[in-house]
Amino acid sequence: MAPKRDKKRKKQEDSQNDLDLIEAFDKNNAKRLERPLKVWNRVDSCVDIAAGQDWYELEGSTKQQSSDHAPITSSLRSMGQLNASQALQIPPEMHNVTFPQAHTVFASWFVMDVVNDRLDIFSLPNMKSLTAVRAGINEFAEERWPQNGRHALREVHLRAWVKLPFRAAMQEEYSKSLLHKFDSYLEPLTKKNIPYNRSRGDVIEHTINLWSYLSPLGGMLDLIQPKLGSFFSPELHEGFDENGVQYIAEKGSKKRILWITRRGFQYREERPEGPREMIVKALVIVR
């Protein structure tokens, strides 16, 4: 009988620990949520519903409190590459993912969504004039250089972007809106427990700079999005173990992806002087 009582007591202790962690989301105290994924199915009461809503699909004016967690849950579903009929289940091996690891991946997830044009920045408030100018440049360039107009548009865009007055004006137009979306996306993870970091503005600034260079490629950018639990691929992934030591894959290695630190991307563009290719590998933690 003793082993059964010990097992029951252990289960009660684990449940209490989970409840204490959940409570940390809503109380203004210094304790950080050390293992957020362990209790995510309780933090987001809708986690078992096979539906999700990405951060770029939410309108700030209509966002309801019940959907606050939906974007992070949707990102988790994407990491597992679940289909529409599958509910999200956090496997035990992900329970030890730390707060810094979770915070890093969701911040980078947001950045890569912007870079991959999940959010149409030109649809943000006060961007209609620039959109009209871009359309005019593209129309002229296509008439002058058929099927290569996007290269001229990109060149104009990049030359304008290096001009400080233009860049400052553009940043002022949409950085606040993008920063608000960034904060709203991370809020369920941070709540009141994690003070706002001053580097948030730097993250948004560098995101916009990267987007401004890659966006004119015209859809030739493909994300490298590893699947949790899939095999490590040295051609597409750069791996680290759980202690942060870089993993060098050996022949016949069967390491699997435990966590995604950052998605990668690759692009190919056809230019008059020949094709140009580039790959930025995804960063992953392997086990």
Identify residue 166 by its one-letter amino acid code.
F
How buried is 284 (Cβ within 10 angstroms: 0-12 exposed, 13-18 middle, 19+ buried)? buried
pLDDT at residue 118 greater than cutoff 80: yes
Q: Which of 91, 23, 79 is nearest to 52 (CA)?
A: 79
Q: Which of 281, 268, 278, 122 is nearest to 208 (CA)?
A: 122
H/E stretch holding 277: strand 276-280
The reported pLDDT for the residue numbered 9 is: 66
CA dist 39 and 90 (Å) reads 9
The reported pLDDT for the residue numbered 260 is: 94
pLDDT at residue 224 greater than cutoff 90: yes
Of residues 19 and 117, which shows the higher confidence score?
Answer: 117
The reported pLDDT for the residue numbered 265 is: 92
The reported pLDDT for the residue numbered 218 is: 61
How high is the mean pLDDT of the chain? 79
Beta bridge partners, 280, equal 265
pLDDT at residue 11 greater than cutoff 70: no
pLDDT at residue 30 greater than cutoff 70: no
Q: How confident is the model at residue 29 (pLDDT cuts 50, 70, 90)?
A: very low
> What is the mean predicted confidence (pLDDT) over 134-147?
88
pLDDT at residue 242 greater than cutoff 80: yes
pLDDT digits (tens, 9 = 90+) for 257-268: 999 999 999 987
pLDDT digits (tens, 9 = 90+) for 148-185: 787 788 788 778 877 888 877 777 777 888 888 898 88
pLDDT at residue 255 greater than cutoff 90: yes
H/E stretch holding 210: helix 199-214
Q: Radius of gyration over alpha carbons of the chain, in Å?
A: 22
> What is the mean predicted confidence (pLDDT) over 35-57?
77
Q: Output the six-digit token pair for 64.
A: 């309801």
- Among 44-53, 81-90, 215-224, name the one with the lowest average pLDDT: 44-53
Of residues 143 and 22, which shows the higher confidence score?
Answer: 143
The whole-model pTM stands at 0.80
Contact 217/155 with Cβ under 8 angstroms? Answer: no
pLDDT at residue 227 greater than cutoff 60: yes
The DSSP code sequence of 58-117 is --TTT--GGGTTHHHHHHHHHHTT--TTPPP---GGGTT--HHHHHHHHHHHHHHHHHTT
pLDDT at residue 191 greater than cutoff 90: no
For the chain, the structural domain boundaries read 2-219, 220-287
Q: How confident is the model at residue 62 (pLDDT cuts 50, 70, 90)?
A: very low
The reported pLDDT for the residue numbered 232 is: 96
pLDDT at residue 28 greater than cutoff 50: no
- Among 81-85, 114-118, 253-257, name the one with the lowest average pLDDT: 81-85
